[in-house]
Structure 1
C-alpha cells in the first residue's frame, strides 16, 4: 500500500529487537533480504525511529551525518528514507513504517502526512495481531473459558475490520479536493461497516456558523436550523463548542437531552445520532454527523473508529480549503480580466462570462473590446487551453500583451496576432490558445466593414438583418503551435441591423455531439431569437445552448449595428 500510494520502490514494516531488524511486511526488497526478512541491527535505520520515538526523514542518506556510515546504504540501496513510528498497545515504539527511495528524495508534507496516517493504521493492525496472539495463548491454557474467548475473538475480528476502514478512509480522503468530495469519501467508507442512513459534514464558516456539506433534501423541521449557531441546543453545536463527541444510541436518549427535537427526528426517522468534532489547530473546524434509522449502541472500539476518522477528515478539510482558496483566487483574477466594454454611439455591444459547472475548474476564456480609433472598434475572443490556475494566468498574460499591441499602432488583425504569437513563444513556454481579433469600423460611404483574423477559434457567427445566420469561414492554426504560421485577414461588409456573435467552445460542446452539431444548435437558437434585443438574445444563448453541466468556461461577446447607416461624421465613439 505504501509503495503504491506514495510512489516509492521499497516499503517496509520494520520491527526491532536487541539483535535484528525484522520485516513482517515488505515490498520491493532485494534479495537476500526479501527471503530472510531480517537484517543485522547494524543495518537498521528503523532503530533510530525506535530509540528517538519520533519520525526519521532523510533526503539523502549518503550525506546525512546520522546514517551516512550505515551499511544498508550500499547493501539495501537506501538513499531517501522516511520512517514513521509504530506503537504497541502501551504506546511504546516497537518499529517503523518506512518508505524508501533508491535516489535522493525531498519528501512533501502531503507524503509525510499520508505515511503517518498509514503508520497509525498499521499500528492498529499490529496491536490487533499482538492481542490475537495473546488470545491464542490463553485459549490453550483456558479451555474452560471457551465461550468468553470466542466472544473476544469475534470482537477482535470486528476491530480488525474497522482498522481496515481507517486504512480505506486514509486512502480515499487523500484524493479529495473539495468539501463535497470529503463527504462522499466518508459516506463510501462508513456506509458498509457502520451503516448510517445519513452522513453530513458541518463546517465552521467566517461568521462562526456551521454550514452543512452533504444531503440538502431535508424536511423543514430539520432544515430550519441551518446554518447552525454554536449556541443552538443541538448535538453538532454541543460537539463543536465543547470539543467532545456526542453519542446517542437510542431515540429516548436523544429526547432526554434535546426534547425540543421531537418533531425533527420524527420527520427524518432517526433513532440514533453521533456528532464528532473535527479537530483544528486552535478550535474544531466543524463536526461529522451520522444518523441511524434504528437504535445503535456505540461500542468503545466504534467510538474510537469514528473519532479517528474525524482526525483524517480534518487533514482532508485543510487540503480542500487550501485548494478552494487557490481556485477562488484564480477565478477572481479571471473575472478581473474581463474588460469593461466601451460604448459607441451607433453600436450595441454586450458580453457574458459563465464559469464551468464544476467549482474546482478555472479556465482561460476571455473577451475584450478596445476602441483603437474614433471610428474603429477591436473585438477579441480567446481561449487558452487548460482548466487550471496556469491557464488563467496565461490568459491574463496574452490578454495584456494584445491590449498593449492594439493601442500601440494600427495594424491588420493578422499582423497583431503574428506579433502576439511571437511574444507567446519568446516569453517562455508558449501557451496553446485560440483567438479571434476583429475590427468593426465605418467606411467612407457610411457603411460598416468587419475585418478579422482567426487563430484556431470557433468561427464568428453573423446574423443578417433578414434573420439569416451563417458562420464566417477562414481560420489559421492556434497560437503557440508554430512561429512559422502564415496568418491571413478576412473581411465582410456588414449590413444595417446585423448582429455578430463571437464565443468560446464551451458554449456549444457536449460529450454526445460533434462540433458541427453543437454549432447547428447555436445557429438554430439565433434564427429563433434574432428579433430579441441584443442583451436578451445573448442571455437566451447562454441559458439554452450549453450543456447544463458544462465542464468548460463560456465567454460570449456580441455586437449589433443600427438599422440605419449613419453618416461617416456621426460614427464617433465614446468611452
Structure 2
C-alpha cells in the first residue's frame, strides 16, 4: 500500500526542508492520487478479512488519522467484528470488546449518513468511551454498504495535524467506502465460488473402502487460491485378482475445469484396472491409449500401484507400481527408516504420447511398514527447492512411523503453511505384522 508521508507527518510540518503542505492548486490532484492508491490497496486481495484490514489502513493513511476502525454488523444490526488501526495492544483491544451499538456510531448507522463530529466529548449524542479506551477528540464515519445492504461502519478519529475533519475529508472517505463495498462484494463472491469448487472437488473423491488386512487413510486439502484449486485425487480398491489397487494423481493445470478432467481420468483408470489385472505399467499404458480418444487429451501425473500378498501362508507383501511423471512414493519402515521409491526409469505424464513405454517396478512392502503416496503440493513451495520439501517430509514421516495413519495424515497436512500454493492429496497404507519374503523384480511392461 502506498503511504502518504505528508499526512503521516502532519500538514504543518516540513519534510527534508520542503514545505509539507502542497500548493492549494495541487491539493486536489494529490488527494485524488492517494484516493486511487487507497482504492487499489483494498482491491488487490480477495480474502474478506484482508480486504477489511486494507480498508481501515487505507482510510487512516488517506486522511492522516491516528485511529481507524471498521465494525462489521450481523443481520440483526449487532457488531460482530471490529478491525482497528492505531490501537496496537491486542490485550487492550480484547479488554475493550466490541462496540455496544449506541452513541454516535449508533446514530450514524440508524441514519445511514456520514457523520462528522468536531468535539466528541461535547456532542450530546456521545455515550463516552469505555475504561482504557484511547481518548478521541474528533470523529468522522460513513456507513459501509454492500449491494444496498448495510455491512458495517467505517470511521476515523483525530487527524495527525490536529485539525477537524472537513468536507473534503468526508468526500474522500465516502468515495473510499463506496469502492470498498465493491471489493467486499467481490471477495464474498470469490469465497462463495471457492467453497462451491472445493465442495465439488471433494464430492468427486472416493471414500476409501475397507482394505483389510491393510490399513488405509487419505486426506485432501484444497489450494488457497481458486485458480489453483482442483485436479488432485487419490483412489484405492480391491481388484478381482485380490490385489489392492492404489493411485494418487494430479491433473496438469489447475482451474475450475481441472476437477471434471480428474473425474474422467480417475474413472477411466478404474475401468482399465478392473478389466486388465496386469502389471502397473501395462495398466497405465492402456490408460494412455484410452486418453487418445479425446481430441485434446487431458494430461496428468500419477503413481499407479498394486499391493499383493505373497502366495504362501504367512508371506509378506509386494508393492508394484508405475510412475507417470509424479513425485515418488515414500516407504517408511516401522523402525523409522525411510526410502523414496524412485528407480531411474520412470514415465512421462499420461495423455501425452501413448507410444512411450511404461515401466513396472516392484519393492518389498515389509510388515508394519507405511507407504505414502502424495501429490506435489505436499512438498513444493514457491520459495524452496522440491528436494528440500522431500527431505522434510521424510524426516517427519520417520518420527511418526508408528503413529496411527489418521494421525500421520493429519500431521503431514498440518506441516504445510496455512496458505497452500497447490492442492494436496495424501494416501497412506500400512501392512499388518507378518513374515516378509524376498520378491523379485518384474520386467517393464508397455
Same-fold call, TM cutoff 0.5: yes
Equivalent residues of 2:73, 2:152 under 8 A apart: yes
CA distance in 2, matches of 1:372, 1:208: 58
User: Structure 1, residues 353-384: CA drift from partner, whole Å, max 9, x if none?
Assistant: 23345687524322222222373221111122
- Decide which of 135, 152, 177 is 1:286's aligned counterpart: 152
User: Structure 1, residues 52-103: CA drift from partner, whole Å, max 9, x if none?
Assistant: xxxxxxxxxxxxxxxxxxxxxxxxxxxxxxxxxxxxxxxxxxxxxxxxxxxx
How much does 1:346 deviate?
Answer: 1.3
- Decide which of 414, 423, 427 is 1:557's aligned counterpart: 427
Seen in structure 2, the aligned counterparts of structure 1 residues 394 and 274 have a Cα distance that, compared at 3 Å, is farther
- Decide which of 477, 488, 498 is 2:348's aligned counterpart: 477
> Structure 2 matches for 1:348-359, cutoff 5 A?
348-356=215-223
CA distance in 1, matches of 2:368, 2:178: 64
Aligned to 1:500, the other structure's residue is in SS state: strand
CA distance in 2, matches of 1:401, 1:240: 58
The range that moved more, 502-511 or 382-391, is: 382-391
How much does 1:307 deviate?
Answer: 1.0
Equivalent residues of 1:377, 1:440 under 8 A apart: yes
- Decide which of 375, 378, 392 is 2:242's aligned counterpart: 375
Flag the structure with more relative contact order, 1 or 2, with Cα contacts below 8 A and sequence separation at least 6.
2
User: Structure 1, residues 487-517: CA drift from partner, whole Å, max 9, x if none?
Assistant: 1211223222121111112222234432222
Residue 523, structure 1, aligned to residue 394, structure 2: yes
Match of residue 300 from structure 1: 167
Match of residue 442 from structure 1: 309
How much does 1:277 deviate?
Answer: 1.6
- Decide which of 505, 518, 521 is 2:376's aligned counterpart: 505
How much does 1:156 deviate?
Answer: 5.4
> Structure 2 matches for 1:4-23, cutoff 5 A?
none
Residue 543, structure 1, aligned to residue 409, structure 2: no
Match of residue 458 from structure 1: 327
The range that moved more, 475-484 or 203-212, is: 203-212
Match of residue 10 from structure 2: none
Match of residue 146 from structure 1: none
User: Structure 1, residues 33-70: CA drift from partner, whole Å, max 9, x if none?
Assistant: xxxxxxxxxxxxxxxxxxxxxxxxxxxxxxxxxxxxxx
Seen in structure 2, the aligned counterparts of structure 1 residues 506 and 237 have a Cα distance that, compared at 3 Å, is farther
Match of residue 33 from structure 2: 164
- Decide which of 252, 258, 261 is 2:129's aligned counterpart: 261
Seen in structure 2, the aligned counterparts of structure 1 residues 353 and 262 have a Cα distance that, compared at 3 Å, is same
CA distance in 2, matches of 1:504, 1:207: 45
Seen in structure 2, the aligned counterparts of structure 1 residues 191 and 260 have a Cα distance that, compared at 3 Å, is closer
Seen in structure 2, the aligned counterparts of structure 1 residues 306 and 347 have a Cα distance that, compared at 3 Å, is same
Larger radius of gyration: 1
Seen in structure 2, the aligned counterparts of structure 1 residues 297 and 404 have a Cα distance that, compared at 3 Å, is farther
How much does 1:548 deviate?
Answer: 5.7
Equivalent residues of 1:334, 1:396 under 8 A apart: no
CA distance in 1, matches of 2:73, 2:324: 47
Match of residue 130 from structure 1: none
How much does 1:561 deviate?
Answer: 0.5
How much does 1:243 deviate?
Answer: 1.8
> Structure 2 matches for 1:132-211, cutoff 5 A?
157-173=26-42, 175-180=44-49, 182-183=51-52, 185-186=54-55, 189-204=58-73, 210-211=79-80
Equivalent residues of 2:237, 2:245 under 8 A apart: yes
Which blocks of at least 5 consecutive residues in structure 2 are unaligned? 1-21, 437-446
Match of residue 534 from structure 1: 405
CA distance in 2, matches of 1:290, 1:360: 36
- Decide which of 304, 320, 336 is 1:467's aligned counterpart: 336
Seen in structure 2, the aligned counterparts of structure 1 residues 258 and 423 have a Cα distance that, compared at 3 Å, is farther
Aligned to 2:429, the other structure's residue is in SS state: strand
- Decide which of 330, 333, 336 is 2:203's aligned counterpart: 336
Equivalent residues of 2:96, 2:132 under 8 A apart: no
Equivalent residues of 1:265, 1:271 under 8 A apart: no
The range that moved more, 553-562 or 516-525, is: 516-525
- Decide which of 262, 268, 274 is 1:401's aligned counterpart: 268
- Decide which of 128, 142, 156 is 1:276's aligned counterpart: 142
> Structure 2 matches for 1:394-433, cutoff 5 A?
394-427=261-294, 429-433=296-300
Aligned residues: 408
User: Structure 1, residues 438-483: CA drift from partner, whole Å, max 9, x if none?
Assistant: 1112232143221211111110111234432111124211224334
Seen in structure 2, the aligned counterparts of structure 1 residues 551 and 197 have a Cα distance that, compared at 3 Å, is farther
Equivalent residues of 1:169, 1:312 under 8 A apart: no
Aligned to 1:314, the other structure's residue is in SS state: helix
Q: Which has the higher helix share?
A: 1
TM-score (norm: length of structure 1): 0.62
Residue 514, structure 1, aligned to residue 385, structure 2: yes
Which blocks of at least 5 consecutive residues in structure 1 are unaligned? 1-152, 567-575
Equivalent residues of 2:138, 2:165 under 8 A apart: no
Q: CA-atom RMSD, angstroms? A: 3.5
Aligned to 1:389, the other structure's residue is in SS state: coil
Aligned to 2:372, the other structure's residue is in SS state: strand
CA distance in 1, matches of 2:307, 2:380: 28
TM-score (norm: length of structure 2): 0.78
